[in-house]
């Protein structure tokens, strides 16, 4: 597998404002929006052709931040409606 591998598209709908991290050999992608906002998280093992549903974040959100700490992906902040309401940081 090369260093520049093209990834398959996420499932329909989550096209902008999501967060992604690489954790324990998997790419994790959570939240995002198009017309609607989402809380769904997906995982992808490198080399696989499809994303798998991995659960949901506590809130639907877009444009949050993420980080990996102690081998886990954490989501912070973001917006959860089109009127710019902020989501509290949860760790």
User: DSSP readout, 3-64?
Assistant: SSPPPPPPSTT--BS-EEEEETTEEEEEEEESSSEEEEEEEEETT-SS-EEEEEEEEEEBS-
Q: Dig out the tokens for 38 from the structure.
A: 């989402």
User: How sure is the predictor about 66, in pLDDT bands with cuts at 50, 70 and 90?
Assistant: very high
Q: Dig out the tokens for 70 from the structure.
A: 């102690």
Span 19-48, average pLDDT:
91
Percent of the chain with pLDDT over 70: 82
Q: Which residues have CB under 8 Å from 61's CB, separation 6+?
A: 31, 37, 39, 75, 77, 78, 79, 80, 87
């Amino acid at each position: 597998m090369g260093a520049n591998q093209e990834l398959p598209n996420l499932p329909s709908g989550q096209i902008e404002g999501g967060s992604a991290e690489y954790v324990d050999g998997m790419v994790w992608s959570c939240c995002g929006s198009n017309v609607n906002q989402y809380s769904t998280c997906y995982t992808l093992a490198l080399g696989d052709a499809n994303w798998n549903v991995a659960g949901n974040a506590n809130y639907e959100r877009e444009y949050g931040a993420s980080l990996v700490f102690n081998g886990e992906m954490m989501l912070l902040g973001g917006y959860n409606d089109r009127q710019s309401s902020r989501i509290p940081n949860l760790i």
